[in-house]
Amino acid sequence: MRILFSFFAVIALVLSAYAGVKIANLQFLFGVVIPYIAIAIFILGFIYRVLKWGSSPVPFRIPTTCGQQESLPWIKQSKIENPSSAAGVVIRMALEVLLFRSLFRNLKTQLKEGRLVYGEAKWLWLAGLAFHWSFLIIFVRHFRLFLQDTPSFIKTIEGLDSFLQVGVPLLYMTDVVLLGAVTYLFLRRVFIPQIKYISLAADYFPLFLILGIAASGVLMRYFYKVHIVGVKELAMGLVSLNPVIPQSIGVIFYIHLFLISILLAYFPLSKLMHMAGVFLSPTRNMVNNSRIARHINPWNYPVHVHTYEEYENDFREKMKKAGIPVEKE
């Protein structure tokens, strides 16, 4: 149900782009207006969400400590997993963001003949990493469309990405990796019962969407060739705020572009914001030095406590009898 809903939602998007361009001839709408709106939603929404999170304080210092604390000088501190300095936090965050450190720790818990065993479980980490990195590389590769002269680093990336030298045009490895990883991420949501149980439409939808984007991109590059000069013209027009609609770019391109627009607009509304959120997570981005340095809670307020005086009033006689010193005789 949740899977089908998401699947048909993406199919509907594809069809509407197809119909819009092929039948209604709304090239300008799909090629210019919607992308502009999508980018605006993405940027403003992204900023809004981050500011909204940022507007709530972090009243307490609550890092999850995944290693030995800073202690006596002869005890070896785990400076990255339990950082007490800013440098440690930077490295911890870099490992988290670039290499998915925490996910790398993943274990699989199994019950075998009454005994619990913990096995390696690196597939999710691997697929996650492969997916995100290939997405990033593909994203960067696309910059050649927005720049008059392709910068050399993009050429280098392209060269590396296609170093297998397969087919014409050359096959990009990241295209294959991305499709494979997304498919894996989707299949685990279908076949692992627990993961299926926790999955919402909001988990399937972005997967189908990205799958749609990747598939349309691949089709366009390797199978239904589109007019690449026209694509570049349109892209350049968009970035220079001087939009033009070149003739005869295939409809598949508009489908690709429309799905990307939807992804951009959907991004700030959804869990995809984990991209920004990971940087803000207090359990990961704080130093564990709250016994060393004072941390202030901005909304701290005085509370009612049971004072020593009240306590002694309750127990004075008993204390005196037991020979425990009191303030007032």
Partner 1 sequence: MATKFTAKPDELSKIDYKPPKKGWLDTPAEFKEHTFCWGAKGKNLNVVEFPNARDWSPAEEDWKLPENWQEIVLEGIKDRLSKYRSFKLFMDICVRCGACADKCHFFIGGGDPKNMPVLRAELLRSIYRKYFTASGKMLGKIAGARELTLDVLKEIWYYYYQCTECRRCSVFCPYGIDQAEITMVGRELMNLLGLNTDWISGPVANCYMKGNHLGLEPHTIKNSMEFFLDDIETITGIKIKPTFNRKGAEILFVTPSGDLFADPGTYTAMGYLMLFHELGLDYTWSTYASEGGNFGLFTSNEMAKRLNAKIYAEAKRLGVKWIIGGECGHMWRIVNQYMDTWNGPADFLEEPVSPITGTKFENAKSTKMVHIAEFTADLIKNGKLKLDPGRNNHLKVTWHDSCNTARGMGILDEPRYVLRNVCNHFHEMPEDTIREKTFCCGSGTGLNASENMDLRMRGGFPRANAVKYVRDNYGVNMLANICAIDRATLKALMEYWAPDVQVAGLHELVGNALVMTGEKERTQDLRLEPLPEKEAKE
How would DSSP label each residue in 31-68?
A: IIIHHHHHHHHHHHHHHHHHHHHHTS---S------SP
CB of 67 to partner 1, least distance (A): 6
Q: Which of 255, 273, 134 shows the shortest CA–CA distance to 202? A: 273
Residue number with CB closer to partner 1 (67 or 243): 67
Residue number with CB closer to partner 1 (4 or 19): 4
Q: Which residue has the tokens 């959907």?
A: 266
10 Å Cβ neighbour count for 78? Answer: 14
Distance CA 63, CA 283 (A): 4
Specify whether the CB–CB gap between 77 and 69 falls below 8 A.
yes
3-state SS class at 115 = strand
CB of 186 to partner 1, least distance (A): 13
Residues in the chain, total: 329
Residue number with CB closer to partner 1 (240 or 297): 297
CB of 233 to partner 1, least distance (A): 36
CB of 267 to partner 1, least distance (A): 13
Residue number with CB closer to partner 1 (18 or 184): 184
CB of 52 to partner 1, least distance (A): 8
Amino acid at 106: N
Residue number with CB closer to partner 1 (233 or 312): 312
Does the CA dihedral 155-159-161-166 come out positive or negative?
positive
CB of 102 to partner 1, least distance (A): 5
Residue number with CB closer to partner 1 (198 or 241): 198
Distance CA 128, CA 103 (A): 9
Distances (CA, A) of 113 to 109, 116, 320: 13, 8, 61
